[in-house]
Amino acid sequence: MRKSLVVVVLLVIVVLIAIVIVRSATPALDLPTQISTLGQATPLTVHVADKHGVHSASATVEQNGASYLVWQMTQPSHAIETTWNFTAGVKTTPQLKNGKAKLIIEATSNDLLCRSARLERDVTVVIQPPTVSVDSEQHYLYIGMADLVTFSVSGDYTAAGVHVGDESFRAWPMPAGKAGMFSLYAFAWNMPQSTIPVVFASIGVGNDVTSPITVIFPKKEQPHYTVHQFDVSDAFIQKVVGELDPNGSGDPVARFVKINSEMRKANNKTLSDLRFKTADHFLFSRPFQRQPHSQAESNFADLRHYIYHGKEIDQQVHLGYDLAATQHVGVQASNDGRVVWAGALGIYGNCIVVDHGYGLQTIYGHLSRIDVHEGDMVKQGQVMGLSGMTGMAGGDHIHFAMQLDGVQIDPKEWWDPHWIKDHIVKRVELPGFQP
């Protein structure tokens, strides 16, 4: 008899516990507005849903190993849904510094089990948000080419420069100790013409303060990039495949197309990455020079349809000038600078890249011989090697190209002293410039 009573009591206890567990709740936490920065006093809204109400809730900010309570609810609530509005930031938590932090919201259910929920957001503390002020000049832009903008940024920021669509160009302090900053930027050959270049100051991902540059696209003077059919012979395929894919096997045409597309892409990435090997000052003081006595066989941004036995096998855009002179002509540095690449580079064959400062670089491809080394300083007109047909080249020529912060541009403006005077020298100090 007694035994069965114990069993019944135990059963009741188990059932009660089960009821408590089943009926208990976990709060559902939500921050209805997107929060990514904390400023002086950033308004925050926290929404909590819990069928038994909320026993306790708090918000803390963690930064550099320390934790700061920024808000706490004052008394338990039985409401199923509760919304709290409060502010967090430097005003109430002066210990916060500029930089990354974590906002943590916690709430505990108002029932026996006191289940709790926690929500974390990565935030950036910005004590003084940046403001950007751009020069009031009219910027004449040409598709595929470059320009220079001056501006000033105040407040706190982690990065600044120019955005053109999805491309980014760095900002540099004005030379000669002048106030403000500048960016050399490019309007890439394939950028939609409706894109407005903007100066930006960044305070963490997705938190850019921007200001547009006043740009004018003189319609009449825009370049008309050309389209050409490029007949691919079996001999050319053999030459390219034998040189750039010597150990490969299979259909030579497929291997050629792979080299032309995938290797080209990888080589262009290698070129683009050289933007980080740049001087923080101008290394030149004269207009750029075009290889003397050379014939342009192909211009910048020429769209090439590759035709093999009457059938199109590939399409690529040629991002440079093919300059032909005599065979094995001495390849001259277009301007003073520092060699940042001297060696083989896939489709570009034996290749030299010269840095001229502020992300501006010249590229020389298909050489038969290289006579400079990475790190060498070169002078305008200095012979750096001999022309040839290494890489994706069917005849002896120099593939001459230029890039700005890794974006390949039409070099022709930089050959023009008037353009350099109007777009560069008028806006920043270019010591010793002689047009």
Tell me which residues touch Zn ion (CB under 5 A): 322, 399
Least distance from C-beta 180 to Zn ion, angstroms? 38
Q: What's the min distance (Å) between Cβ of 346 and Zn ion?
A: 13
The smaller minimum CB distance to Zn ion, of residues 230 and 358, is found at 230
Tell which residue, 124, 136, 63, 130, has the closest CA to residue 95: 63
Return the number of the residue (201 or 386) whose C-beta is nearest Zn ion. 386
Please, what is the minimum distance in Å from the beta carbon of residue 319 to Zn ion? Answer: 8
Minimum CB separation from Zn ion for residue 347, in Å?
A: 9
Is the Cβ of residue 208 or residue 322 nearer to Zn ion in the bound state?
322
For residue 298, the minimal CB distance to Zn ion (Å) is 6
Gap between the Cα atoms of 292 and 67, Å rounded? 66
Least separation in angstroms between CB 217 and Zn ion: 27
Using the minimum distance from each CB to Zn ion, give the nearer residue, 139 or 318: 318
Task: Quickly count: other Cβ atoms within 10 Å of residue 58's Cβ.
Answer: 15
Distance in angstroms (rounded) separating the CA atoms of residues 419 and 221: 13
Q: Kindly tell me which of 77 and 408 has the beta carbon lying closer to Zn ion.
A: 408
Q: Which residue is nearest to Zn ion (CB)?
A: 399
Tell me the C-alpha distance between 220 and 243, whole Å.
43
229 neighbors 302 (Cβ within 8 angstroms): no
Query: Which residue, 171 or 240, has its beta carbon nearer to Zn ion?
Result: 240
